[in-house]
Structure 1
Amino acid sequence: MIQQKHFEVIIVGGSYSGLSAAMSLGRSLREVLVMDSGLPCNRQTPHSHNFITHDGETPAAISAKAKLQVVFYKTVQFYSGLAVEAVKIQNGFEIKTESGDVFTSKKILFATGIKDLIPEIKGFAECWGISVLHCPYCHGYEVKGEKTAVLANGDMGFEFVKMISNWTKDLRLLTNGKSTLTSEQKVILEKHEIEILEDEIDSFLHENGTIQEIVFKNQSKISIKAIYSRLPFFQHCYLPEVLGCELTEMGLLKVDMMQRTTIPGIYASGDSIIQARSVAMAISSGSFAGASINKELIDQVFI
C-alpha cells in the first residue's frame, strides 16, 4: 500500500527505461513513484538480444532483475495500475489512476513507450516479436542465412531490405500490393537477386508464433523462416499530449538534449522518444533522464 501521496518525481511506465530512471533518481536520494500498468510492448518476445550482460535472457527476466535492484533504494516506491488523468497544478502535476488513486509530483517522466498498429493479416499479431521482427540488431543473428522476407514498400522497403541483406542472402521483398519502388531501385534489387512479390497477403500460417508459410490472396504460398516489418505506431500513453507535449513528425515525443518535453517539468525517455527501439537504448535513455531531472531539481533550490 502506497501511503505517500506526494513525490518529487512520478515515473509513468515501469519497464526498462522507467526502471533505469528510477535507479538514477533513487541513487540521487529522490522521492520517486514508479507507476506501471504491466503491459510492456515486448511481452510476447521470447528472448532479448544485443544488450551486453543480458544477451539471450527473456524480457520478463531482465525486468524482474532490474526491479529487484531498484527496490533496494528506499526512496523509490512502486504502484501497479494505469494512469488515466493528468493535470498541471501549482508547483507540479497531479495524476489520477484507473482505480481512483491520486498522486502529485514536482516532475513527471513518461517512459510509456509506443503501441504498434498491427495490420489486419491473419496470424500477424501472433507472430509479432517471435518470427515477425522489427530489428535485425535485436534478432537478426538468430535467423541469419534463413529464408527471410521484408514486408514493406517504396523507399522504406528498399532501405530495409538492403539492411537485412547483411544477415541473409535468401531474401525477398513483399510489397503487399503494387510496388512503389523506383525503376532504379528495382534494378538494384534484381542485381542482388532479391525477388519482389506484389501479391496481396491473406494470412501467416504459424505454430505458436513461429511462421511456416505466407499465404497470398491468390492462394499461392511461400515458406519462410522470418519476416521483418516496421509498423506505424502511436504513443502508448495519451497523457503527454493531454498535458500539451508536442510530437515530432514521426509521432515520437519531442524532447531536447536533456530529454525535456515541450512542457516544463515533463520529461520523456525510452521508445516514446527513440526511433531505434532496443532494450539497451531504452535503459540508456532512462538513466540520462533520471540524471537530468535530478539536476533540474538541484538547480531550482540552489539559488
Structure 2
Amino acid sequence: MKPARHHVPRHLLTDVDVAIVGAGAAGLSAALVLGRCLRRVLVLDGGPPRNAPSPAVQGFLTRDGTKPADLLRLGREQLMPYNSVEIAAGTVTDIEAMSGHFHLTIEGATGRTRTLSARKVLLATGVEDELPPLDGMRDLWGRGVLHCPYCHGWEVRNQPLAVYGRAKLVTGLALLVSRWSPDVVVCVEDPAYLTLNARRRLRQQRIQVREEPVVRLEGTRTGELRHIVFESGEKLARAAVFIHAHQHQRTQLAGQLGCRLTSKGAVWVSKQHQTSVPGLYAAGDTTPGTQQALLAAAEGNAAAISINETLTREECPR
C-alpha cells in the first residue's frame, strides 16, 4: 500500500507556496533551494540589480571576475530544470498580510496589474545607494567610484587612491583602504568634525587629509577616474575613490507591512531570516550586515531552508 502523501489544508491553498520579490543573487539562490524542495515558487524581477554598473563580481567562489549580468544569467539557466519555479518580470506595488497567507499586487511592464496569493513571501529587493551630489560621481559609479574594498581593492591595488565622505565615516574606510595601497588621500566633506584622534590615526598610516571642498570628479567615458577637482581648481590624480554611501530600501514594501527596521534602515530579521511580520522573510542587502553577492546568495539559501521547514511543519501538524 502506498504511503499517503501530505496535503496542505484547503484554507491554505494559494497560487504559489512562496513569492520571491527580487531576482538578484539572494532571490535566485532561494528559488533554487525551494525548487529542489518541490515548492511552487514565483520570482518577481523588478529590474537591474544594484551592482549592474560594476564590471565584475569579485570574491565569489568559482565566479570571481564574472560580469553581474552573466552571474544572473547563469542563475536563471540553472533554475530551468525546476518546473515548479517561474521567473516573471514585474514590480510588486503592494503586499497584504492575510490570515496565513499574503496577497501581492504586481504591475507588469505594460502597466497592467494582477494579484497573486502566496503562503510565504521573501523580500530580496536590495537597497539603492545615495551618492554624494558631485559632478561625475554617478557617471563613474562602479568603476572609478567604489564602495567596497573587499570587492574592488585588488583591482586598484598599489595605485593612488582616495576616500571621500563625512568625517565620522572616512577614517575607518581610509584605514581599511590603506591595506591595498600606500598612497591614500582622505577628502573630508566636513573637516571641522574630524577629531584629533582620527587625524592622529590617519597620520600614523601616512594618509593625507585634504580639507578643501571637492567640486567634481573627472574620468573617462568608460568610467575610470582620472582626477578629483577641488574648489580652487587644483586637480588631484587618483585611480579610484572609495565612498561610504548612504542607502535606502529599494522598495517601501517592508515599511508598508510594518516590519521592524534597524537604526540604519535595514529590515530586521531573526536567525531564521523571518522579519517581524510572521511569514514574511528577507535576505540579501535588504537585511543588516556585510553586503556582497556571495553573502546575499548564502542568505537566500538559508532563508529558503527556513521557509521550507516552516511550510513542512504547517503541512505536518502534530
TM-score under structure 1 normalisation?
Answer: 0.96
Alignment of 1:13-92 (within 5 A): 13-92=22-101
1:168-215 per-residue CA deviation (whole Å, 9 max, x = no partner) reads: 011011112424222122122223221101111111111121111111
Q: Matched residues in 1 for 2:194 and 2:216: separation?
A: 23
Match among 133, 137, 140 for residue 120 of structure 1: 133
Q: Structure 1: 5+ residue runs without aligned partners?
A: none
Residue equivalent to 1:143:
156
Q: Matched residues in 1 for 2:204 and 2:278: separation?
A: 52
1:130 positional shift: 1.1
Q: Which moved more, 1:260-269 or 1:243-252?
A: 243-252
Write the letter of the residue equivalent to 2:244. Answer: R
Residue equivalent to 1:301:
315
Q: Matched residues in 1 for 2:89 and 2:235: separation?
A: 45
Structure number with larger C-alpha Rg:
2
**Counterpart secondary structure, 1:166:** coil
Alignment of 1:178-197 (within 5 A): 178-197=191-210
Residue equivalent to 1:259:
273
Cα root mean square deviation, aligned: 1.4
Q: Matched residues in 2 for 1:172 and 1:112: separation?
A: 34
Match among 66, 85, 93 for residue 102 of structure 2: 93
1:152 positional shift: 2.5
**Counterpart secondary structure, 1:215:** strand
Q: Matched residues in 1 for 2:287 and 2:100: separation?
A: 25
1:218 positional shift: 2.2
| 8 Å Cα contact 1:10/1:105 also seen in 2 | yes
Count, aligned residues: 300
**Counterpart secondary structure, 1:34:** strand
Residue equivalent to 2:117:
104
Write the letter of the residue equivalent to 1:282. Answer: A
Q: Structure 2: 5+ residue runs without aligned partners?
A: 1-13
Q: Matched residues in 2 for 1:256 and 1:249: separation?
A: 16
Residue equivalent to 1:227:
241
Q: Matched residues in 2 for 1:20 and 1:266: separation?
A: 17
**Stretches of 4+ moved more than 6 A in 1?**
none
| 8 Å Cα contact 2:167/2:191 also seen in 1 | no
1:74-107 per-residue CA deviation (whole Å, 9 max, x = no partner) reads: 1101110111111122331111112211111010
**Counterpart secondary structure, 2:193:** coil
Q: Matched residues in 2 for 1:179 and 1:74: separation?
A: 60
| 8 Å Cα contact 1:114/1:272 also seen in 2 | yes
Residue equivalent to 1:287:
301
1:72 positional shift: 1.5
Residue equivalent to 2:3:
none
Write the letter of the residue equivalent to 1:125. Answer: R
The alignment-based identity, stated in percent, is: 31
Q: Matched residues in 1 for 2:192 and 2:58: separation?
A: 33
Residue equivalent to 1:9:
18
**Counterpart secondary structure, 1:300:** helix
